[in-house]
Amino acid sequence: MNSENVAFENIDRVMSLELQGSALPYGVKAALYDAARTVHHSPLVKEAALILNRAPCTIGVVTGAQVPDKMPLGENDGPLGSVILAKALGKLGHKIVFFTDTAAAEPIEKLLTWLNIDAEIIRLEPGDIDTQKTAAKMLDVGVAVERLGSNPNGILYGATGVSRSSFRCNTDTIFNTLTALGKPTIGIADGGNEIGCGNIRDIIIGSLEEFNFAERTPCGGGIFSVVPTDVLVIATSSNLGCAGVTAALALLNEDPSLCHTDHVEQALIAKGVELGLTDGGSGKVIAAVDGVAAHVHASLVSIMEAIVKRALTTAAERDF
């Protein structure tokens, strides 16, 4: 292992453990992560942070996963991590613009206000193709966080093979347009069906065939996304992926204060409950993310912060 990558590698390891709740497919994180590392030869968080660690610019964050009746205000995985990443990016001088479905917008707006984050939020409706193309032209970088990407037939599917296309905006156009314009993109994902996972689809169709659920999807195309990004970050949850990228930014800037912290994570998940965001692992409004309890999430965030602080500390020599 390259010594300068030790801290980044450790962050990657901590954020990509197989911990998700029992209602979600088990055994996918390692295979997804390994696939991502075959196309990205440096730690994933480092590659993402290198894109974001630039002169102040306009960065678009696309997130939110609402399901009528099941998750009416949206899932907590995605929005919670996105606001933490946005806070760090704001400290670095970037302008942040959020994009989400109208139905999922209110909790994100309230989270931004609660954390005193200055960010615009644009509400999308199904079929907003022109809005997405215009957005891509005004952005410098695009980041998708837990945002579904189309399968080969242009359909959005949840992790268990249930279609979301009838009610969720398809935001592929933002990222495809950014790519066509030569602008960098990042996908932060945890299931193979999100924007960015097009980078590894050819690999995981083989290694995770049973989790593509082709037989469950009416179109036969399975759940895995075909939409690529320049960098794909795979994590236990996309929220932890955001915390990992934030930690990597702290390393690049030699500024531990940019890190997410355990106490903020606990408070953030509790705030999500207050706002009605749903744990995608249980389908309940509880203090967990993808079935992982808040205190476990907070512990992992704490370890990432510790990795950063240790890497940036020059220890005195022992005298024994």
Instruction: State pLDDT tens for residues 117-170.
Output: 999 999 999 999 999 999 999 999 999 999 999 999 999 999 889 999 999 999
Instruction: State pLDDT tens for residues 77-98.
Output: 999 999 999 999 999 999 999 9
Gap between the Cα atoms of 169 and 306, Å rounded: 38
Instruction: State pLDDT tens for residues 140-154.
Output: 999 999 999 999 999
Instruction: State pLDDT tens for residues 181-218.
Output: 999 999 999 999 999 999 999 999 999 999 999 999 99
The verdict on residue 318 lying in a domain is no
Angle between helices 44-52 and 29-39 (to 10 degrees): 60
The verdict on residue 275 lying in a domain is yes
Ramachandran assignment for 28, one of left (phi > 0), alpha (psi -120 to 50 degrees), beta (any other) = alpha
Gap between the Cα atoms of 57 and 60, Å rounded: 10
Instruction: State pLDDT tens for residues 5-64.
Output: 999 999 999 999 988 877 677 778 999 999 999 999 899 999 999 999 999 999 999 999
Gap between the Cα atoms of 129 and 142, Å rounded: 16
Q: pLDDT confidence of 3, banded at 50, 70, 90?
A: low
Confidence (pLDDT) at 80: 98
Amino acid in position 175: F
- What's the predicted TM-score (pTM) here? 0.96
The verdict on residue 316 lying in a domain is no
CATH code, domain carrying 21: 3.90.1640.20
- Residue 201, beta-bridge partner list: none
The verdict on residue 170 lying in a domain is yes
The verdict on residue 315 lying in a domain is no
1 has a pLDDT exceeding 70? no
Gap between the Cα atoms of 76 and 94, Å rounded: 24
> Do the Cβ atoms of 165 and 193 come closer than 8 Å?
no
The verdict on residue 10 lying in a domain is yes
Confidence (pLDDT) at 268: 98
Amino acid in position 27: G
Instruction: Enter the tokens of residue 94.
Output: 């970037």
The verdict on residue 188 lying in a domain is yes
Number of domains in the chain: 1
Containing structural domain, residue 58: 3-310
Gap between the Cα atoms of 233 and 242, Å rounded: 9
The verdict on residue 63 lying in a domain is yes
Q: Compute CA distances 184 → 47, 108, 141, 142, 180, whole Å.
A: 11, 24, 5, 7, 10
Residue 114: how many other CB atoms lie within 10 Å: 14
The mean per-residue pLDDT over the stretch 233-258 comes to: 97
